[in-house]
Structure 1
């Protein structure tokens, strides 16, 4: 038996509307975990691991050997569980899976490390592997290709495995549309080009998204993917015939009205560390949260 397509387990986190994926070679049981979530309660400022522990349970039940933990980008809306999973898997199996992200991550780390006062030693070398554009690596009898998909963020990658691409926050399901581009380094023009890179894949290719926000007037259940054919025909922002000028104008106008993600400050500080916690110091483990003064008065 030779593997042609992976086994895919889509795990939805309702608190952050995030899709996480365990993807495995069905022959060798080698697996990767894509964009895992670490739970954070902003009301109590507490981190917990129930969602990540659920992924660990799935891995055990399926008998998978996790080779790599793949991040599509530095998320601004949830904390990554990559470092936690790496630690637990190493303890349980003796094998330490590598945490991987795109090669442009250093610029993102420098930007947000400086913004939040994160010591360089806490983010330098946080990721084990920095993937090149179009780099290919083995997953058992399958191959994984890293595809650069900038726009939402400059470092953004998708992962092509068989006839499936895990596109992170590049493209959402057809009735949701596309991701925002107003974060530092984001670009509506780049996202348009990335979307068309995805839509140029064979029509039966499944595009697995990083989030889903089901519109209540059409459906109530989150879905992890839509085919390229469905996206071309029905994507509300990028369906066939949508010009770059039209998309850029609409996306920029829309992004100007959006509030910042609820967990942006906590997420960015943890995620540039690949999910590692801040070092212990007097007062505990600390994250910096900016404040704003109404009316511009400072005293």
Structure 2
């Protein structure tokens, strides 16, 4: 079984689940997943986890993400993107300066109402399934964070905007809200994710090339799961502790460490361990094992 992270550049028009299926077929293994859905109409970076690297899925989803969104002002669609039907129009013309002023208000923590056309589940049903049935239900506001937002290009009624944000941010909702704040309407004409944590789209394999690529070349593209855990301090342990730590035993360490650490033995990533203080001494115990031999 192969383990690692494959960085994929998803093309428009295919689902994130379809990319998982392609990777599953290419590597001929079942244990494959993605780390955050991209809309059907969106393209860009989709990290795929294989084997024991599926354990980092939750950590990957927590990472900052950067998107390039093409906003079209003066029109609103029911899905808030180009796949939907037009449900409103506005003749108001806005300037680049007006847009820049409004974008400043979105930096930091904001609240969003998830769109009806989303994969979010309410009472076990996905919102987009309810929307297709003609239903609209109340959705709770949720807090997200916009780390940076700026204009890349402006030629009214189009604007290209780069957004760096936290998990759970709906770019379609963001553009719709910006349109409302400008006294007009807006929808996402195009969306591309270019970064997840320190993974960049320019380093990714295109989804349409997966099945045409030799398995040895695909294996060489796999990134170690520890690259998804860079926010945790590295801790190196002597080889003599290997059997104890890998079998879940607690070992005493000389260093004054506390909290989660990336554990390495002989420069090989073993997994996430927790360092803690007990009765004046420091100890280490595995929390998630990634060692794959």
Bigger RCO of structures 1 and 2 (CA < 8 A, at least 6 apart): 2
* Structure ranking higher in strand proportion: 2
TM-score in terms of structure 1 length? 0.24
TM-score in terms of structure 2 length? 0.24
